[in-house]
Amino acid sequence: MSILLLPASCGTTTEITNTDSQHIVPQQSEHGSGAPAVIDTLCCNGSPRVVVTGFEPFGGRRLNRSWEAVRRLPPSPGRETRQLPVAYGRLSDEVAGLGSQQPHALLLVGECPARSVAVEQVALNVVDTNRADNSQQKPARETLLPEAPLALRASWDARAVALRMAAAGIPASPSFHAGTYACNAALFLALATLGAQTRVGFLHVPYQRWPRGIRLSVLVKAIEIALDSLVAASISMPPARERTTCS
């Protein structure tokens, strides 16, 4: 993501430790990966009902940790993975395309300079950056969707998701908002355009490799837990348009 060198891009986070989550027990699936079989049951007539995205490399880097983690997810008949561009001008169409199969859940994953996985709570209707994207665009103080509210909530309880990750030994924190860069833009567009029928969540993963960062195998586990939580939300929560937006 274009937020790599901008520490504020992950928003303000609250660290969650294993001590905080001693009463939280991650659900285990028959696959042993932390994602329950309910994900597979949402697949109908071969259509992918869960979509997971990562971002392409940017800023001259060869790899993006978000995509490296997403592409290592084990195959599932109810899951599709896609790579999103780090280009503001293309994001709107790309995000709209994610809803073509009307998935029950959409999990977006980006990278940032945090030391733990950041579980995003809110997306802002703002794009503002001092670093060009991969199309050399550098929007400043712009609105993503003029008729949309200032902010939209993600389709999960971010603190509960972070607690589940911490209980599984994964450093994780709820993040108040996803910044004002391409990661945030993708999340806001997804909530605004797909939120009526799709539950949407966003994870920021640390961009640094092990040992400074988190192992890819652990990031994959974090994504599985996030998917579990998001699919559960798709069953128990009303669509985003029926919930209160942020003012």
Along the chain (247 residues), what's the average pLDDT of each consecutive run of 10 residues?
35 42 32 45 58 94 96 92 96 94 93 94 95 92 95 96 98 93 95 93 95 95 96 64 46
Relative orientation angle of helices 158-167 and 216-236, to the nearest 10 degrees: 140
Query: What count of other Cβ atoms lies within 10 Å of the Cβ of residue 150?
Result: 13
Please give the model's pTM, rounded to 2 decimal places.
0.80
Strand pairing report for 199-206 and 105-112: parallel
The residues annotated as belonging to the active site are 120, 183, 204
Q: For residue 59, how far is the Cα from the chain centroid?
A: 21
The reported pLDDT for the residue numbered 143 is: 96
The reported pLDDT for the residue numbered 3 is: 31
Q: Which residues pair with 200 in a beta bridge?
A: 106
CB of 166 within 8 A of CB of 18?
Answer: yes
Per-residue tokens: 83 = 């790579």
Q: Spell out the residues 6+ positions from residue 81 whose beta carbon is closer than 8 angstroms to its own.
A: 51, 52, 53, 54, 70, 71, 73
Per-residue tokens: 165 = 């990750």
The 8-class DSSP code of residue 245 comes to P
Per-residue tokens: 130 = 């001092």
